[in-house]
Amino acid sequence: MEIVITAAAAEKINQRTAGRKGYLKLKWDTEGCGCAVSGVIALWFVPELDTDDISFETNDRTIYIEKSKAVFFDEKMTIDFSTASNSFQLKSPQQILNGYMSFVVTEKAD
């Protein structure tokens, strides 16, 4: 899998994670969707990785994806940031996987 992060997206990610330690993850989020195949891709910044997370090197930083959810992603993808919609986007040459991708920062529980 090949993932590219645009300069605009990298800048926004850096702004939102400044001063935090953690990992950037593309998450197949099924919360409120009903079942595992009904989900939406979101960008998460997490303090710890899960045991089944696999890493992908990008032009900017390492991104993690749950191995069991990798089937929901395309072989080549771009993470971008749209100033018009003020949101992250995940695109591939074939499709827009999420045109309004959430960015979630999770904190470590005490």
User: Cα separation of 11 and 106, whole Å?
Assistant: 19
pLDDT for the residue numbered 32: 54
pLDDT for the residue numbered 37: 53
pTM: 0.88
pLDDT for the residue numbered 38: 58
pLDDT for the residue numbered 85: 93
Helix runs in the chain, H state only:
7-17
Going from the N-terminus, what domains does the chain have, and what CATH number goes with each?
Answer: 2-105 (2.60.300.12)
pLDDT for the residue numbered 31: 58
pLDDT for the residue numbered 33: 47
Radius of gyration of the chain measured on its C-alpha atoms: 13
Cross-strand pairs, 53: 66
User: Cα separation of 23 and 35, whole Å?
Assistant: 26
Mean pLDDT (10-residue bins), the chain, 110 residues: 97 94 87 57 95 96 93 93 96 94 81
